[in-house]
Chain A
């Protein structure tokens, strides 16, 4: 059955997100490669999804009525693995096998490798199309209460495939799709606006027929509240343009595009973990 008993306070959720960031640093350091920047930036959104928003059951990942999360920018999968492990899909001890030979935690997500993953991704631009197919199938199957969350990178929006899907979802009013664009303004080669200007994303998505909402993607309360409001919009699908800080929580990684796809060495990881432990203590001392 679905886990409907998610009752963590916002303070507990913030603590959870910080623990997930600690895991991300440890696993990417152990792997010696991977993508820490976007993963750290997405930790609050993933915490909101797995620990509050989504109707899913870590002990029964194939449950037929579950909500679905598609990570379209598959390179950020460390945040998904870490969040799934903390949510109880598998033991957190397995996280350090990331990217290792024979590990279930492949460098980019593979559906068959790990229960709970809904798709295989990495090559960019495909998640929203897959969500459209799933939403259409759910409609044919008369399933009306299932939501599909699609996390996309902002650099990923350079892909034409995304906009093919962006046209399709409003055409069929696939209003159980909730897109989340990780607007962190970086991609591999540099700032998004230098590499390929995205401009006003809210306007762009609105022009394609979407309910587009700008939010602070590092504010768990804002993420949860925006998703609640998105569910109330029935006449079109919703996309959240979630502003996030890449490298969030680690002082030397924040907003530096060089950390998009580079793992910290042991010394850098130690500094990163010190930063995160300090943040964790700060969260502990906060009042509810």
Chain B
């Protein structure tokens, strides 16, 4: 897809954590619009808000280790015309403060951007308490909420800039660990759009977040083995781009979803709901199946949970051999 300006998958892929892209995007958004403000709950460096906080100290609020206060202060900032980005680890925000997000942001309909970093098992050694796997499910059931999960640093930057201009509440899910960069500054990003990153006819892989890079690597290798999979990257889980997903599944008639989180209520849940009502198709869900994470290196954990290009390839072969 030449108009998508993706990185050539044949080369060695550079890596960067999505949170870094968010940090760049936030700084740029702040330079563009003086109403963009930020608040953090004692994780300014980890969530990459430090460059914004340094350049705009008068527009940065440090609330301490208080995630309930974090999002509710955000609601107040938005009520007086600001566009706040409020960040912490996803395990704590939206993990701890769901009701405040529901009432003071979503029902109150204030354009607060809740930023949850260190989502997924790739957080690594910190273990299960800090590996947020349920956040997509928690956020996507809320009316008015937009849910965005960028695939790499550059897309996280573009998503941040787009969210800064959007007047809806949002949740932006970020990762701690560096992951392959597969998009460029010219790759399009629009809230609510899914993108066909790779075309194929044998099966559709629907992926979000950093799993899209794994899907693309798998797709490249599968192509050499004579299997043509279509990779649909879904950076916006809510609102879901129904048209793009249905169009692809109507063509391939087989679906694998992949995400670094609980499949229950996650991307898999959203896709299953869509297909069940519109175009029932055989489906396999890769992701976390009703268990917590644990300590380990990111690579060990991704291997353990079956979230690598290799596991995708195995799943594709198994799936297409089924009649």
Contacts and interface: CB of A to CB of B under 8 A. Distances in A.
A134 B68 contact: no
B81 A141 contact: yes
A164 B107 CA distance: 22
B61 A136 contact: yes
Interface stretch (A121-129, A195-203, A244-252): A121-129
B24 interface: no
A172 B63 CA distance: 10
Interface in A145-174: 160-161, 164-165, 167-168, 172
A133 B76 contact: yes
Indicate the member of A137, A161, A167 with the most B CB atoms within 10 Å. A137
Contact of A120 (B80, B99, B103): B103
B214 interface: no
Interface string A83-122: 0000000000000000000000000001110000011111
A126 B77 contact: no
B146 to A, nearest CB: 18
Contacts of B43: none
A118 B79 contact: yes
A137 B68 contact: no
Contacts of A20: none
Contacts of B46: none
Nearest to A135: B76
Indicate the member of A130, A141, A167 with the most B CB atoms within 10 Å. A130
A130 B76 contact: yes
A138 interface: yes
B68 A164 contact: yes
Given A112-B109, A120-B103, A126-B104, A161 B77 contact: no
Given A111-B108, A137-B81, A140-B37, A168 B76 contact: no
A120 B77 contact: no
Contact of A160 (B61, B68, B109): B68
Q: How large is the interface on B (under 10, 10 to 19, 20 to 34, 35 or more residues)?
A: 20 to 34
A123 B103 contact: yes
Contacts of A172: 61
A132 interface: yes
Contact of A119 (B61, B84, B108): B108
Given A133-B80, A137-B82, A161 B69 contact: yes
Given A141-B80, A161-B68, A133 B107 contact: no
Given A140-B59, A164-B66, A122 B103 contact: yes
Contacts of B76: 129-137
A21 B117 CA distance: 49
B108 A133 contact: no
Interface string A252-284: 000000000000000000000000000000000
A132 B103 contact: no
A112 B144 CA distance: 13
A120 B58 CA distance: 27
B39 to A, nearest CB: 8
Given A120-B107, A140-B58, A125 B78 contact: no
Indicate the member of B61, B64, B80 with the most A CB atoms within 10 Å. B80
Determine the main DSSP class of A at the interface with B.
helix
Interface in B69-103: 69, 72-82, 84, 99-100, 103
Interface in B186-231: none
A137 B69 contact: no
B276 to A, nearest CB: 32
A129 B80 contact: no
Contacts of B100: 123, 126, 129, 161
A126 B80 contact: no
A133 B58 CA distance: 13
Nearest to B97: A161
B77 A133 contact: yes
A172 B37 CA distance: 16
B113 to A, nearest CB: 14
Contact of A134 (B37, B66, B79, B109): B79
Contacts of B107: 110, 120
Contact of A138 (B37, B74, B78, B80): B80
A138 B58 CA distance: 12
Contacts of B75: 119, 126, 129-130, 133
Indicate the member of A112, A120, A167 with the most B CB atoms within 10 Å. A120
A263 B82 CA distance: 40
Nearest to B68: A161
Indicate the member of B72, B82, B84 with the most A CB atoms within 10 Å. B72
A129 B68 contact: yes
Contacts of B37: 137, 140
Contacts of A111: 108-109
A122 B100 CA distance: 11
Contacts of B61: 136, 172
Indicate the member of B58, B76, B100, B104 with the most A CB atoms within 10 Å. B76
A126 B72 contact: yes
Nearest to A166: B69
Contacts of A160: 68
A126 B74 contact: no
B103 A126 contact: yes
Given A129-B73, A132-B69, 16 more contacts: A110-B107, A119-B75, A119-B104, A120-B104, A120-B107, A121-B104, A129-B104, A133-B80, A134-B80, A135-B76, A136-B73, A137-B76, A137-B81, A140-B37, A167-B64, A168-B69
7 contacts: A120-B103, A129-B104, A130-B79, A133-B79, A136-B76, A164-B63, A164-B68
Nearest first, the 5 A-B pairs at minimum CB distance are A133-B76, A137-B80, A129-B72, A164-B69, A164-B66
